[in-house]
């Protein structure tokens, strides 16, 4: 990929017609929560502004965030959006590995000093001098600090990177910490979720690529556009909540009829995320739609505060 390639260049190289390019820009404008009147500006910026390079690091994680990102599905506007990230380094996706790949990361850090985005997936272990998680013999925390120092901004993606996740759950044997506990001198955008919604990650990266700045963040550092409302606010079962119609047990009459899952421990009312609005796999479904209560995976400490495990599922 050319170092000055814009989104327009990239899509043109993939033989997308002008009409399809405009469709992608329309989808992008909507996804970023911009006014339709901004469409001409989005098109102009998409045609001219070079995509921002991205380095994607892995700490203590199951790699589920990366796996979710890969589930782009069939060609569509959403697929195009998910694949337009200029990913320069990723421990799993990159074709190269070992020393070659680490050298490439260092080269990107040098050549794009202050101008690349750093994505951090997974928690950061402080125990055993950080060696509970290391790459090439270097503790992840050290790699993270060095890469963050020269980045324009850091995106902590997934609940492990944002809150510490299951690694930080009691008794936290590796002394796992969240990204922002380690990176304190750089903006850290928090995109929690287990896993986080791929379109949200791509949306934040593209917003920075197009406008040269991060999207609006809430008081916890989460993008307001995607974390400004509770799951409950957009839930397809909300009318049943308001009518007092609740499933009491898995598989009962209410569960089969699609009633509210609040009595099964649903945390939608206190969980901020876009699962209901964006859905998963190009909006195909989301956990509540599929019959599972929201477990609040994007909220802090949800592993230590599990609402589901105490429920009787047999009736």
Closest by Cα among 13, 15, 109 to 57: 109
Interface positions, 260-289, toward ligand SF4 (CB under 6 A): 260-262, 266, 268-269, 288
Q: Is 84 in the site for ligand SF4 (CB under 6 A)?
A: no
User: Nearer Cβ to ligand SF4, position 11 or 231?
Assistant: 231
User: Nearer Cβ to ligand SF4, position 72 or 266?
Assistant: 266
275 labeled binding residue? yes
- Which of 57, 120, 148, 294 binds ligand SF4 (CB under 6 A)? It is 294
Whole-angstrom distance, CA of residue 21 vs CA of residue 29: 12
User: Nearer Cβ to ligand SF4, position 43 or 266?
Assistant: 266
Q: Is 163 in the site for ligand SF4 (CB under 6 A)?
A: no
| The token pair that represents 21 in the structure block | 């390019």
Is the separation of the CB atoms in 276 and 286 below 8 Å? yes
Instruction: Please count the other Cβ atoms lying within 10 Å of the Cβ belonging to residue 161.
Output: 32
Contacts of 33 (CB under 8 A, 6+ apart): 225
- Which of 23, 149, 186, 238 binds ligand SF4 (CB under 6 A)? It is 238
Q: Is 235 in the site for ligand SF4 (CB under 6 A)?
A: yes
Helix, strand, or coil (residue 301): coil
Q: Is 237 in the site for ligand SF4 (CB under 6 A)?
A: yes
The count of chain residues that interact with ligand SF4, using the rule CB under 6 A, is 14
- Which of 80, 232, 254, 298 binds ligand SF4 (CB under 6 A)? It is 232
Whole-angstrom distance, CA of residue 59 vs CA of residue 143: 10
Q: Which residue is nearest to ligand SF4 (CB)?
A: 268
Q: Is 302 in the site for ligand SF4 (CB under 6 A)?
A: no
Measure CA 289 to chain center: 20
Closest by Cα among 227, 213, 153 to 185: 153
Whole-angstrom distance, CA of residue 140 vs CA of residue 142: 5
266 labeled binding residue? yes
User: Nearer Cβ to ligand SF4, position 55 or 261?
Assistant: 261
| The token pair that represents 50 in the structure block | 């070079």
Is the separation of the CB atoms in 116 and 52 below 8 Å? yes
From residue 72, alpha-carbon distances to 61, 84, 199, 281 in Å are 21, 12, 9, 7
Which span sits near ligand SF4 by CB under 6 A: 46-54, 206-214, 218-226, 229-237?
A: 229-237
Residue ranges in contact with ligand SF4 by CB under 6 A: 231-232, 235, 237-238, 241, 260-262, 266, 268-269, 288, 294
Which residues fall in the annotated binding site? 62, 65, 160, 194, 232, 235, 260, 266, 275, 294, 297
Binding residues for [4Fe-4S] cluster: 62, 65, 160, 194, 232, 235, 260, 266
């Amino acid at each position: 990929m050319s170092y000055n390639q814009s989104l327009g260049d990239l899509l043109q190289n993939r033989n997308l017609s002008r009409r399809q390019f405009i469709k992608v820009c329309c989808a992008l404008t909507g996804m970023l929560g911009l006014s339709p009147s901004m469409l001409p500006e989005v098109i102009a910026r998409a045609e001219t502004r070079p995509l921002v390079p991205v380095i994607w690091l892995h700490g203590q994680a199951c790699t589920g965030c990366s796996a979710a990102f890969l589930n782009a599905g069939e060609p569509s506007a959403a697929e195009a959006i998910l694949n337009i990230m200029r990913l320069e380094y990723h421990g799993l996706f990159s074709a190269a590995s070992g020393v070659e790949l680490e050298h490439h990361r260092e080269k990107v850090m040098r050549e794009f000093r202050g101008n690349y985005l750093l994505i951090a997936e997974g928690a950061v272990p402080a125990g055993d001098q950080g060696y509970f998680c290391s790459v090439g013999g270097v503790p992840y925390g050290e790699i993270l600090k060095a890469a963050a120092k020269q980045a324009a901004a850091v995106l902590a993606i997934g609940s492990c990177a944002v809150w510490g996740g299951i690694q930080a759950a009691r008794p936290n044997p590796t002394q796992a910490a969240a990204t922002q506990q380690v990176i304190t001198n750089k903006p850290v955008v928090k995109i929690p979720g287990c896993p986080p919604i791929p379109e949200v990650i791509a949306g934040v990266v593209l917003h920075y690529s197009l406008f040269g700045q991060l999207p609006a963040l809430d008081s916890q550092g989460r993008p307001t556009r995607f974390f400004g409302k509770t799951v409950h606010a957009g839930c397809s079962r909300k009318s049943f909540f308001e009518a007092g119609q609740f499933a009491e047990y898995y598989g009962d009459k209410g569960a089969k009829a699609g009633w509210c899952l609040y009595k099964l421990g649903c945390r939608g009312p206190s969980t901020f995320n876009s699962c209901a609005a964006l859905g998963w796999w190009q909006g195909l479904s989301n956990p509540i739609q599929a019959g599972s209560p929201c477990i609040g995976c994007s909220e802090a400490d949800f592993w230590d505060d599990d609402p589901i495990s105490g429920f009787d599922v047999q009736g």
